Structure 1
């Protein structure tokens, strides 16, 4: 199975993805560390490093899926082209795809998490709260083929262990046809 995380920066996607990965023994392919590595390699930040990171993540996930393992992709996946990338990968790989969207309904908690996080990703700038607020306008509604893929929405104001249990239950349910 291919699991694709989605949600704004600072909502808790990575923490949830890593906990699910540890629980299900599945690797997590995370876009932000890949982009950090691209920038560390000397690629100019004015180049489409975000797109490159998504493409590298897709390639890594495809290799893992091809080896017969499941994978979790940790990325914002805010727009249809990003989401459709995982739909296409799942189809090419003959894998089931499920999305887990992470929101944070408490604006103050979300902002505090974003402003307090220290991810140690060299050369990758952390988004400001203002940038996250602006990206709300760009966060696309779920439509097209990705809108038909099963999706669980988790609100990260709940405890991590509760969210992980809910996600594992969702992932274990048979896919509806």
Structure 2
């Protein structure tokens, strides 16, 4: 079993890559934004607390599924060290492999266009490219977490991404 945690700025293609991986790995896909948006639909105010709650609910769902022996893919920005620590600790708790799949889009115009046209779950606000620039500035640098980089500037071959991730996961 493996724990795969997506990472990257809004609009780079994390969810698309996560869905592609979930179609190929027998396991569970958990989207942190969907959890946080559900809290907002339940009339909780959008705040740091609802975002954190999204991560904590995702952590618990991941824990249950790892205990069942399932692969887990977590779709989240994971831009803060505390967020990445959730998955690092969970992998350690279960003695399972952890791989962060960091998704980037190095073409700024393409990234901005994606943000403007992407479909969002109910309750999730549209994010501007200016918001992404701020998020990039606030993102914490990576420590020693194992990660695989995927650049979505060009069309992505999901079978190749799967093969690369599979190769990066020694025990898969």
The question of whether the paired residues in 2 share the 8 Å contact of 1:8 and 1:103 is answered with yes
Q: Which moved more, 1:152-161 or 1:67-76?
A: 152-161
**Quick one: distance in 1 between partners of 2:47 and 2:78?**
20
The question of whether the paired residues in 1 share the 8 Å contact of 2:26 and 2:70 is answered with no
> What is the match of residue 172 of structure 1?
167
Structure 1 residues 47 and 99, CA gap change in structure 2 (3 angstroms): closer
SS at match of 1:105: coil
**TM-score with structure 1 setting the length:** 0.90
Residues 141-169 of structure 1 deviation map (CA, whole Å, 9 limit, x = unaligned): 111xxx2x3211110013222x5413432
Residues 39-85 of structure 1 deviation map (CA, whole Å, 9 limit, x = unaligned): 11111224610000000011111111111101000000001111111
> What is the match of residue 152 of structure 1?
148
Aligned residues: 170
Shift of 1:129: 1.2
The question of whether the paired residues in 1 share the 8 Å contact of 2:24 and 2:162 is answered with no
Q: Which moved more, 1:151-160 or 1:105-114?
A: 151-160
> What is the match of residue 21 of structure 2?
20
> What is the match of residue 91 of structure 1?
92
The question of whether the paired residues in 2 share the 8 Å contact of 1:6 and 1:13 is answered with yes
